[in-house]
Structure 1
Amino acid sequence: MSVLNALRLSHVPALAFAILGLYWGSFAAFVPQLKAQTGAGDALFGMLLLGTACGLATTMWIAPTVDRALGRWSMGVCAALLAGAFLLPGLATSPAAFFGAMLCCGMASGLTDVIMNARVSELEAHSKRPLMNANHGMFSLAYAVGALATGSARAASVQPFVVFAVLGLLVLLLARRLQMTPHDARGEGVAGTLPWGIVALCGAVVLIAFMSEAAVEAWSALHLERTLGGSAAEGALGPAMLGLTMAVGRFSGQAVSERLSDTRVVLGAVTVAVAGTVLVVLAPAPLVAYVGFGIMGLGISVIGPLGLALVGRLVPPALRTVAISRTAVLGFLGFFIAPTLMGLISQGFGLRAAFAAVALLLLVVWPLVAVLRSRGA
């Protein structure tokens, strides 16, 4: 099945993926400016980013209940919440205010993420076709576009609030196109007990993928600008390179997933991601780091989506949204761990050492996949 056909079949959730990608790509490119705006050091700024994770964990857990209450309007409401929440980081001028802003962004993102992934999983089940990588590819492509556009805005001295306000107006205009009636609208617990073993294994795979992704999103611009002496525009190319190559990897993964098992694809992807991370660690100049971040993006790109796709296929249909929400909560714990870990390691040993820790973390996926294979994945 071609990528275009996959996106045509899942065009409604694909738009939600694109909207979320635009927001986080723009945010990643603004990180150096937002960090300076709060006056926080590396370790403190890493702690402040935990506000995102707190919000994600809160709303991801209750997302199935919210989804049942809102029905076909779920994704449209999420888009409106995103438009409001992302105005706040640009207004925050103190650590406390920035933490609160990231809490709101995380809450809106958590709801959006669970609901749009659940819609794609439902479409996969009904169409009997893989769709997850194509939709996550839309997120990555939009992330890259957001980062590149924001890098140009930063170079022109446009303030974060202005960029997020313009993006919010665009999103509100598109919100009505996000209506979609759930296929599997049954309640939690109808099909029995949630298989926590499967959820935990898939959640751990998603956790490591999202930790690695979050590390690049939050710290690549700083690594390029501070460690390697790049300009603001050159710094924005770090998260943009990640987004572009993750889009390529996910769109390519859409085709590969039709020919190879999900677990084989994940194992190969980990190898590629580790190679790219090592190149980032050793990079003597921004150009080499761009190549490393690009290779990282290619590898990381398919790991998280396939972890969510696996849990969606391995649980009963009536528990699919709940299982994806719980897996996503486990996976997005990476947003608790990654900012703090990167900040602490960077404070003590530098960003090269922090990215080296990411390479070691990615290697843990191999034994997790071996266990999933033993359970019939």
Structure 2
Amino acid sequence: MSILSALRLSRAPVAAFMAVGLTWGCIAAMAPVLKARIGVDDASFGLLLLGTAIGLSTTLYIAPRWDRRMGRWALPAGTVILAAASMLPAVAYTVPLFFVILMILGATSGLTDVVMNARVSEIETRTSRSLMNVNHAMFSVAYAVSALLTGAMREAGWGPGAIFPAIAMLVLATAPFQMMQVAVRDVGNGPVPRLPLGLVALCGAIVLIGFMAEATVESWSALHIERTLLGGAAEGAFGPAMLGLTMAVGRFSGQAVAARLSEIGVIRIATALAVAGVLIAAAAPTPFVAYIGFGLMGLGISVIGPMGLALAGRLSLPSQRTAVIARVAVIGFIGFFIAPALMGIGAQTFGLRWAFACVAILLAAIWPLSRLVREGPIRR
């Protein structure tokens, strides 16, 4: 199936993926500004990012209920709320306020994120077609565009009070395109089946590592380029943008590659690329070399998270799909925000170069995990 055909088939969740990508691309590119404005060191800034994980943890309970209650309105309504929340960093002048704003962003972003992944899984089940990689690719495209646009606005002299509302308007513009019919879920009259905790744990671990590695680059690449490598604002913004662009390429091509190789084989090759990329970025003498490293890393980690989420949705009962994906996504996305905090502590203690090198060790853990995936039961 062509990329355009896949995008047409899943156009409603695609718009939601773009909304979330626009939000976090802007925040990543604005990280140096936000950090300087509240006046904290690396370790403190990393710990503050845990506020997003705290907000995200509420998604575990709220998202399945929100999905059942709102039905076809769950995605567009969630995006409207996300657009409003994405303007809040413009007024984050103090540490406590910044922490609260991150919690709100985590909760609102996570709500949309769980529902949009569930919608993709529902369409995949109905059509017997692979769509998860294409949808996540559009997140990466939107993330990169947002990071580049934010960098351009910073270079033009725009402040947070203008940049965040501008991106929020783009997020809001995606909401009308997110309406779609939702299948009626027959929960039956018998006892509620137990959630497949083994499936949740396995897929959650896959998504966790992929998103933790991705998050370190998204949150700290701009600082690494601007501070360690003495790049300018636009050069710093191009760090997360390079990650987003190469992740988009990796995800667009992920479906074709997966058709020729096993999922485990693809994940192992992708892990090797990511490990090489992050080590190059850690040792880079110039921003250009760092871009090469971030690009290789983006190609590598691009397919790990989508494959984990797709596997969880495909092996779940229809009545449990949103709940299973919510749990897998929360496991993964909590790691997405724990990783920058750990990165901040590492940067404060050892420096950004060594902190990035430690990400390679994290990624290497996927190899033994992939062996367990191949040999162990995953359905229950």
Offset at 1:239? 0.2
Offset at 1:266? 1.1
Deviations 1:346-370 (A, max 9, x none): 0010011111111000011112222
Counterpart CA distance in 1 for 2:50 and 2:161 is: 21
Aligned equivalent of 1:233: 234
Counterpart CA distance in 2 for 1:139 and 1:376 is: 31
Contact 1:191 1:319 in 2 (8 A): no
Contact 1:50 1:335 in 2 (8 A): no
Aligned equivalent of 1:36: 36
Offset at 1:376? 6.0
Aligned equivalent of 1:139: 139
Counterpart CA distance in 2 for 1:212 and 1:364 is: 11
Under a length normalisation based on structure 1, what TM-score does the superposition of the two structures give? 0.97
Offset at 1:107? 0.7
- AA paired with 2:254? G
Contact 1:48 1:99 in 2 (8 A): yes
- AA paired with 1:141? V
Counterpart CA distance in 2 for 1:68 and 1:253 is: 31
- AA paired with 2:68? R
Counterpart CA distance in 2 for 1:217 and 1:65 is: 30
Task: Classify the secondary structure of the residue corresponding to 1:93.
Answer: coil
- AA paired with 2:53? A
- AA paired with 2:86? F
Counterpart CA distance in 2 for 1:187 and 1:159 is: 50
- AA paired with 1:138? M
1:280 equivalenced with 2:267 (yes/no): no
Deviations 1:313-338 (A, max 9, x none): 12222211111001111111213421
Q: Residues 280, 330 of structure 1: CA spacing in aligned structure 2 closer, same or farther, 3 A cutoff?
A: same
Counterpart CA distance in 2 for 1:141 and 1:325 is: 23
Under a length normalisation based on structure 2, what TM-score does the superposition of the two structures give? 0.96
1:195 equivalenced with 2:196 (yes/no): yes
Task: Classify the secondary structure of the residue corresponding to 1:182.
Answer: coil
**Superposed CA RMSD:** 1.6
Aligned equivalent of 1:253: 254
Aligned equivalent of 1:167: 167
Task: Classify the secondary structure of the residue corresponding to 2:180.
Answer: coil
- AA paired with 2:99? F
Counterpart CA distance in 1 for 2:323 and 2:191 is: 11
Deviations 1:246-305 (A, max 9, x none): 000000102222333222211111111001011011111111000000000000100000
Deviates more, 1:175-184 or 1:17-26: 175-184
Offset at 1:187? 5.0
Deviates more, 1:139-148 or 1:251-260: 251-260
Task: Classify the secondary structure of the residue corresponding to 1:158.
Answer: coil
Counterpart CA distance in 1 for 2:281 and 2:176 is: 41
Counterpart CA distance in 2 for 1:139 and 1:334 is: 18
Counterpart CA distance in 2 for 1:173 and 1:338 is: 31
- AA paired with 2:165? A
Aligned equivalent of 1:53: 53
Counterpart CA distance in 2 for 1:38 and 1:82 is: 23
Deviations 1:40-60 (A, max 9, x none): 111111111111111111124
Aligned equivalent of 1:269: 270
Counterpart CA distance in 2 for 1:103 and 1:332 is: 13
Aligned equivalent of 2:25: 25
Counterpart CA distance in 2 for 1:69 and 1:371 is: 38
Counterpart CA distance in 2 for 1:60 and 1:250 is: 26
Task: Classify the secondary structure of the residue corresponding to 2:58.
Answer: helix
Contact 1:20 1:139 in 2 (8 A): yes
Offset at 1:177? 2.1
Offset at 1:181? 2.6
Contact 1:122 1:184 in 2 (8 A): no
Aligned equivalent of 2:330: 329
Deviates more, 1:367-376 or 1:85-94: 367-376
Counterpart CA distance in 2 for 1:284 and 1:155 is: 24
Aligned equivalent of 2:73: 73
Deviates more, 1:218-227 or 1:156-165: 156-165
Counterpart CA distance in 2 for 1:247 and 1:22 is: 14
Q: Percent identity among equivalent residues? A: 57
